[in-house]
Structure formats: C-alpha cells, structure tokens
C-alpha cells in the first residue's frame, strides 16, 4: 500500500513530503522530479509568485545511487519567497508589527478555515489552503510516474477550455471514439500541450484564450476552465466492483477533486452520457481476429470499477481563481462591516498548472492499484507478477468459456 503526506505552508520555509510503500530498486532521478515541478509552474496568466520560485527537489532519504531502498522517501522543496516572509511566518515568538488579516475572500478557504480552527488571523487559513502545496504532490506523483514507466503506463493532460473557449476539433472526441494513433501514448498529449503557454492543442484556440485572459486581467477578474487527463498502457483488471472503496473510478474522482479549486470530475463521457441513449453510450464488444476489442472508449477505460485496458480518460473543471483585483463583497470580521474582499498577489488563471497536477494525482492512484494487484518488495518482483498476469490474461479469458 503506497501513501504520502505533505507538509508546509505557502510562505513557510519549505514543502516536504514523505512517500511510502514503493518497492526497492526503482530508478528515481532528481532531474525527472524537477522536470515535472517546472511543468507545474508554467502557464500564461500566473501571478508574480511563480517568477520568484524555481522549484527543485532535494531528496532527503529512501533513495541511494538513484534507486529506491524500499524505505520511506522524503523530499523537500524550498520556498524561495520564505526570505521575504521570515517575520510573518516565523515558528518562533510573534513579532509585534504583524497585522492580522480579517477580510475573507469569497471562494477561498479564508472564512471557513478561521471558523473551524478558531483563528483570529486569516493568514493561518491562507497558508495551508494555498495550492502551493501541490508542488509536493507533483514531487510524490513523479515517483509514481517513475514506477509506472516500468509497465509502459504513461500519463498526460491538456487544457480543454479556459473561460468557455473550446477547441474547434476537440481531442476528447478522438479519445472517446478511440480514433488514436497506433501505440498511442498519453505522454505525447502532455508534450503537445506543453508547447502551448496555456497547454491547449490548437493554435487558434490558444490565441483566443490569451486574448481573453488579457482582457479579463485588465478588468481585474479571473478565469477557470476544463482539463483532460489521460493514462495509457493500463492492464485490464485494476480496481474492483466488490466494494465501493475498491473501485478505480472512486479513487480517481477523489484524487482529481482533491486538487484546489477543482469542482467537477467526469470519467469517460460522464455527464453527456446521462443525456444520451444507451445504444450511443456504451462501447460495443467486438471480435477482431483472435482478439476481443472495443471500437469506442466512452467508458473512459473503466467498467464496473475495473480498468478495461483502454486509456483512462478523466475530465476536470476548475473554478475561477478566487482572489480578484476587482474584488466582490465580503465582511470585515474585525468591524462586522460590509466591505470589498482583500487583494493578495495571485494568479489570474491556473488551469494549465492544474492539469499538470492532475497528471500526478492520476499517476498516484494508478500506481496504488498496480501495487495492490501485483505487490512485490522489489521492482523486479512486481514486474514478474505483472508479466505472469498479463501474459496469461487473454488465454485465460478465452479458455475459461470453452
Ligand atoms: C495551480 C493552482 C494555483 C492556484 N493559484 C491561486 C492563486 O494564485 N490565488 C487564488 O486565490 N487561488 C488560487 N488557486 C485556487 C485556490 O487554491 C482555491 O480556490 C482554494 O483552495 C479554494 O478552493 P476550494 O474551495 O476548491 O478548496 C490555485 C489553484 C491551483 C490548482
């Protein structure tokens, strides 16, 4: 069973994560983790913070000579901005000149956090609810991706829309129709998306989105959007229908929904399947040569809570950024007067980064189910178990019914 915990405040000294449960002898390279950390920082429409930070991981334990030891892996990502916040964020005695924040931003964790944790300073809520924490998740997710590479499972994502601007030819439909290149590899999608400053796959759409971000920014407003995350190379058989919490789709939905500001998750055709006929929703099972295949993948690679072996297709919706330069109404808790919300240095759009984070979350869930099914204390043992299962799988399905 793999698990990870993160710690760290947005303007604290560093973010840390402890990752546990991966087998030994798994190759992990610092550069690979840094590569994905950099990807999380990209995207047109980010605020000033990303110019200050240049995320890079320090591996503190669990890895020797670029290979896992089977022991807990601890990772550290320094916050460069900490230098500017040493007094405001000191774990020591409170300096006298620090002002409490009493004006909550609608759409953020400010008010609920202060109510729940009995804070008299909203800063205490802001610091941990900030999506800065997701850098630690990407570091943990990069370990999961390194593990999955051993089974040729790759993950990729692209931004489908920002501010309601969708592509003319949505790649999502190619995924549903299984109209994909031979040997489709989900990482190719991420590589294509990474070439765009807003991580979309169409140039015209990119131009429109950038224009829209510019005009919304001028008005002091923000935008959200949708993103698509895909995993390819999964074997049939991850997850189960035997219990609600054993279903692969249960965990994927929770993992994507756990990303800050994500308010909707869909697997396969999801919401639109609720509006379609059954005959147009399900993926027909057909025989091609000696194989049983599906021509379409509207199920998004999961049926009965179990992976079908086709790409897993997840779509997420991110709400607009809550911090507004032209703020909306709130109440100052120190005076109980109506007032406009506080401004804080902030992103205008973070859908591209959100998509990158979703890759890590999806990788994590798939790695968890892979290890649950194939186990092993060393990567060699996991691979042996995997090979034995996958080699016999097709014959077993056919033989059992004769
Ligand atoms: C990558 C990323 C960057 C974000 N940057 C900001 C930001 O700069 N300012 C802000 O107000 N919210 C930002 N958010 C959104 C907040 O973290 C989010 O609105 C907050 O956690 C409350 O959302 P919730 O209700 O989903 O928890 C960002 C989210 C993500 C995923």
**pLDDT tens profile 47-89:** 876 778 789 999 999 999 999 999 999 999 999 999 999 999 9
Nearest residue (CA) to ligand 1, atom 9: 346
Nearest residue (CA) to ligand 1, atom 27: 260
Minimal CA–CA distance to 165: which of 214, 204, 128, 219?
204
**pLDDT for residue 355:** 98
Task: Give the position, in ligand 1's atom list, of the atom nearest the Cα of 261.
Answer: 26
CA atoms within 13 Å, Cβ hemisphere of 279? 0
**pLDDT for residue 399:** 76
Nearest residue (CA) to ligand 1, atom 21: 260
Q: Indicate whether 128 pLDDT > 90.
A: yes
**pLDDT for residue 388:** 96
E strands, 258-384, in order: 262-267, 285-288, 291-294, 302-303, 306-307, 312-318, 329-332, 337-340
Distance between CA atoms of residues 109 and 105, nearest Å: 8
Q: Which residue has the higher pLDDT, 394 or 171?
A: 171
Average pLDDT over residues 153-178: 98
**How do strand 225-232 and strand 312-318 relate by DSSP bridges?**
antiparallel
> Using 50, 70 and 90 to split pLDDT, how confident is the model at 310?
very high
Pick left, alpha or beta for residue 127 (phi over 0 → left; psi -120 to 50 → alpha; otherwise beta): alpha
* Class of residue 168 by CB neighbours under 10 A (exposed 0-12, middle 13-18, buried 19+): exposed
What separation in Å is there between the alpha carbon of 347 and the centre of ligand 1? 9
Average pLDDT over residues 217-236: 97
**pLDDT for residue 396:** 77
% pLDDT > 70, the chain:
100
Number of H helices, E strands in the chain: 13, 16
> Using 50, 70 and 90 to split pLDDT, how confident is the model at 291?
confident
Nearest residue (CA) to ligand 1, atom 6: 347
Task: Give the position, in ligand 1's atom list, of the atom nearest the Cα of 47.
Answer: 8
Mean pLDDT score across all residues of the chain: 96
CA 368 to chain centre: 15
With contact defined as beta carbons under 8 Å apart, do 2 and 70 qualify? no
What separation in Å is there between the alpha carbon of 142 and the centre of ligand 1? 22
Residue 177 DSSP label = T
- Which residues does residue 84 pair with via DSSP β-bridges, in sequence order? none
State the DSSP H helix or E strand holding residue 74, giving kind and residue range, or none if neither: strand 73-78
Nearest residue (CA) to ligand 1, atom 22: 108
What separation in Å is there between the alpha carbon of 277 and the centre of ligand 1? 37
For residue 47 and ligand 1, the question of a CB distance below 6 A is answered with yes
Task: Give the position, in ligand 1's atom list, of the atom nearest the Cα of 346.
Answer: 8
pLDDT in tens, 134-163: 999 999 999 999 999 999 999 999 999 999
Q: Indicate whether 24 pLDDT > 90.
A: yes
What separation in Å is there between the alpha carbon of 342 and the centre of ligand 1? 15
Q: Indicate whether 31 pLDDT > 90.
A: yes
Phi, psi of 61 (to 5 degrees): -165, 165
DSSP per-residue string spanning 218-267: HTT----EEEEEEEE-PPTT-S-SSSGGG-HHHHHHHHHHTSTTEEEEEE
Task: Give the position, in ligand 1's atom list, of the atom nearest the Cα of 49.
Answer: 8
**pLDDT for residue 149:** 98
Q: Indicate whether 278 pLDDT > 90.
A: yes
Triad 282, 267, 308: Cα angle to 5°: 60
Nearest residue (CA) to ligand 1, atom 13: 321
Task: Give the position, in ligand 1's atom list, of the atom nearest the Cα of 322.
Answer: 11
> Using 50, 70 and 90 to split pLDDT, how confident is the model at 395?
confident
For residue 129 and ligand 1, the question of a CB distance below 6 A is answered with yes
- Which residues does residue 75 pair with via DSSP β-bridges, in sequence order? 17, 59
Task: Give the position, in ligand 1's atom list, of the atom nearest the Cα of 345.
Answer: 8
What separation in Å is there between the alpha carbon of 219 and the centre of ligand 1? 19
> Using 50, 70 and 90 to split pLDDT, how confident is the model at 271?
very high
User: What distances in angstroms separate CA 400 from CA 29, 39, 52, 365, one per listed residue?
Assistant: 43, 46, 60, 30
- Which residues does residue 342 pair with via DSSP β-bridges, in sequence order? none
């Amino acid at each position: 069973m793999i698990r990870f915990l993160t710690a760290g405040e947005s303007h604290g000294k560093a973010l840390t994560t402890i990752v546990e449960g991966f087998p030994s002898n798994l190759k992990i390279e610092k550069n690979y983790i840094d590569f994905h950390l950099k990807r999380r920082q990209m995207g047109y429409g980010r605020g000033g913070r990303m110019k200050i930070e240049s995320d890079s991981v320090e591996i503190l334990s669990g890895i020797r000579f670029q290979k896992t030891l089977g022991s807990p892996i601890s990772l550290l990502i320094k916050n460069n901005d900490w230098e500017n916040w040493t007094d405001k964020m000191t774990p020591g005695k409170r300096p006298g000149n620090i002002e409490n924040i009493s004006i909550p931003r609608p759409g953020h964790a400010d008010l609920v956090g202060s109510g729940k944790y009995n804070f008299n300073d909203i800063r205490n809520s802001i610091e941990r609810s900030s999506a800065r924490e997701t850098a630690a998740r990407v570091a943990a997710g990069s370990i999961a991706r390194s593990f999955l590479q051993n089974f040729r499972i790759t993950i990729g994502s692209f931004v489908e829309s920002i501010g309601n601007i969708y592509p003319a030819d949505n790649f999502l439909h190619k995924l549903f129709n299984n109209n994909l290149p031979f040997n489709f590899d989900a990482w190719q999608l991420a590589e294509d998306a990474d070439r765009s400053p807003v991580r979309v796959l169409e140039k015209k759409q990119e131009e429109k989105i950038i224009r829209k971000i510019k005009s919304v920014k001028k008005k002091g407003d923000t935008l959200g959007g949708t993103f698509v995350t895909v995993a390819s190379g999964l074997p049939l058989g991850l997850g189960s229908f035997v219990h609600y919490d054993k279903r692969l789709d249960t965990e994927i939905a929770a993992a994507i929904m756990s990303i800050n500001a994500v308010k909707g998750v869909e697997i396969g055709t999801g919401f639109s399947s609720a509006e379609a006929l059954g005959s147009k929703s399900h993926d027909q099972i057909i025989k091609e040569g000696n194989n049983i295949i599906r021509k379409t993948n509207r199920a998004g690679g999961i049926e009965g809570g179990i992976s079908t072996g086709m790409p897993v297709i997840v779509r997420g919706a991110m709400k607009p950024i809550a911090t507004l330069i032209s703020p909306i109404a709130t109440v100052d808790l120190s005076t109980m007067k109506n007032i406009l919300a506080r401004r804080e240095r902030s992103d205008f759009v973070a859908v591209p980064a959100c998509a990158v984070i979703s890759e890590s979350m999806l990788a994590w869930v798939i790695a968890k189910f892979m290890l649950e099914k194939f186990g092993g204390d060393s990567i060699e043992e996991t691979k042996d178990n995997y090979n034995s299962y996958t080699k016999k799988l097709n014959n077993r399905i056919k033989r059992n019914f004769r």
